[in-house]
Structure 1
């Protein structure tokens, strides 16, 4: 019998890719959305069913599930309120899978990504395992809300629950395309692109395609667990810049800044930090997952998509999450002034990808 998956947030970046992957592997798929984005017509032609849903309306989710589904995938679950909604309908689903975040981890000094600018960047001596301590659950920050979601489901669900913790997600249809930091500079004809910490920062990337593949494998091997999900061989910021430069045929220079403070005054890409932030993916591999794509390959598709959509509207409207950063991501005057004033603090990086 054909298995049936229901995806909440099905027209977003993760939901759309997940639907496509499950359809390809023979699942029947229904996706819900709030009506803010156009449905993926190409997937509807493959049998995708679309429903408009306000999950906060009492009884609406249960009604949408009808007689039940084999799996419910929530790509936009955010806090304990959403966890309660899922717990209320768990008798109608065979398994639950929710997307959390690797930002939930805290180091031994209690430092987190959410508060890095105030309290210091977290320090981990090795890739972070799922057993690493997390922030406490609560309403205070993005990550504390995600932990509240996780704890409620893991502690109280009677059906199998998989929690995925991705890192810096990338791929088409994103409202938070970190790659735009490079792409816009290259499109604007910037002759030099400075990178703090000499471009050596490594902040684990996660392709949406790898998320959707681990989602599929997790549904094939149901269980209650937490799984990190990141790309194989995560690149440094300098390598990310080189991959994007190659995709866009950029002929300018990427330069590394020495002795950057934190937070850095210039060259602060969305992946930049004074230390690496890497996650361990062995637990996912242990259930049979295999990565489908590496960053160098996946970013070509991201660059193509960004080039297609960039002129449709002002970028803050296209990428609202990126636009919400608490700093000017494109302060070219500050970059030019720094590079002119401190010629001894920077050097061109190796252009080879």
Structure 2
């Protein structure tokens, strides 16, 4: 049986990655600080090692005790952490979870090896703010390339916005909640904006596939093979929830009547964000049909208690917008 180490492993992408590895016959060790509930505490074939991924000594001890064939690093947020992990696990195949935010240009689609990556200053490399997230992920990608140049089997996977069961960000939960509780849903702009999404189980399978068959030093984009506009996304949610909903587009002027702007709504993107997934598909990776992925996501939402309220621009404000639109 192959052995895998997942750095992270109990919340969202990591949780699904552990399940993916178990389904494919791996013996899995989770390495994290133990600050979140471990859903695999009683699952056969999963071992938990408590430690901080920023502690090089703890990583080295884990490398010796586990001796993993495959390492999947779900919580590498600084390039120095990637550099340390590639050295510590130099005898393993190492997969770094990067991000589509690493790309510097608004190209459609963004392609590995063609679209430039964000530059990263020394100050950004050590920063923890969201403003430096893309540059930090890009620098981590460059570290992976450097490691491969030294003979280390290191690869990167770049997901776009990830959704699915156990999503603690609740970005999609906001829209699911709107669809389940209201007949009319306000959508910023004309509803045709494209924000490429990735179903979390597909991200997990991509991490495994790249870990098994990826080329050292390469990056692989991952996202749904079928793209949805924001309006189509809401209609897909409604189909999965078994309900009908009217999607109501609202421009900036109409939104202003409720004191709102397009960016007040989760998953709104002013410009298209699309990743090419051809390189990953060449490894025989396949994405889950969007309808099936959304059905699983809605089912999880209904039993989770999540409602996306932290992203809610306010239903009263939306009602004022709807009132203005009804008079036009």
Which TM-score bucket, shorter chain as reference? 0.7 to 0.9
Distance 2:267 2:19 in 1: 28
**1:273-292 maps to which residues of 2 (within 5 A)?**
273-291=269-287
Indicate the larger mover: 157-166 or 244-253.
244-253
1:332 to 312, 315, 318: 315
Distance 1:103 1:49 in 2: 32
| Shift of residue 271, structure 1, vs aligned partner | 2.4
Does the alignment pair 1:232 with 2:217?
no
Residue 241 of structure 1 is matched in structure 2 by 234
Distance 2:263 2:144 in 1: 40
Distance 1:3 1:141 in 2: 36
Alignment CA distance shift 1:273-1:54 (3 Å): closer
**1:43-58 maps to which residues of 2 (within 5 A)?**
44-58=42-56
Indicate the larger mover: 137-146 or 244-253.
244-253
- Between structures 1 and 2, the one with greater helix share: 2
| Shift of residue 25, structure 1, vs aligned partner | 1.3
Distance 1:192 1:261 in 2: 15
Distance 1:12 1:222 in 2: 25
Normalised TM-score (structure 1):
0.80
Residue 249 of structure 2 is matched in structure 1 by 256
| Shift of residue 48, structure 1, vs aligned partner | 1.3
SS at match of 1:228: strand
State whether residues 254 and 321 of structure 2, in contact with CA within 8 Å, keep that contact through their aligned partners in structure 1.
no
2:212 to 214, 220, 231: 220
Normalised TM-score (structure 2):
0.86
| Shift of residue 90, structure 1, vs aligned partner | 2.8
Distance 2:43 2:58 in 1: 26
Distance 1:273 1:222 in 2: 31
Does the alignment pair 1:301 with 2:296?
yes
Alignment CA distance shift 1:253-1:315 (3 Å): closer
1:210 to 195, 202, 218: 202
| Shift of residue 44, structure 1, vs aligned partner | 4.3
Alignment CA distance shift 1:14-1:96 (3 Å): same
Distance 2:289 2:170 in 1: 17
Does the alignment pair 1:5 with 2:1?
no
Indicate the larger mover: 226-235 or 138-147.
138-147
Please list the CA deviations of residues 76-133 of structure 1 after superposition, one character each: whole Å capped at 9, or x if unmatched: 1111221132133033x321101111012122xxxxxxxxxxxxxxx43x31111201
SS at match of 1:29: strand
Distance 1:204 1:155 in 2: 29
Distance 2:56 2:267 in 1: 40
| Shift of residue 267, structure 1, vs aligned partner | 8.1
Where does the alignment leave 5 or more consecutive residues of structure 2 unmatched? 125-130
| Shift of residue 304, structure 1, vs aligned partner | 1.5
State whether residues 189 and 262 of structure 2, in contact with CA within 8 Å, keep that contact through their aligned partners in structure 1.
no
Residue 127 of structure 1 is matched in structure 2 by 109
4+ long deviations beyond 3 Å: 249-252, 258-264, 266-269, 342-345
Please list the CA deviations of residues 137-168 of structure 1 after superposition, one character each: whole Å capped at 9, or x if unmatched: 23161111111212122213531111111111
Distance 1:26 1:280 in 2: 30
Where does the alignment leave 5 or more consecutive residues of structure 1 unmatched? 108-122, 317-322, 346-353
Distance 1:73 1:274 in 2: 32
State whether residues 193 and 267 of structure 1, in contact with CA within 8 Å, keep that contact through their aligned partners in structure 2.
no
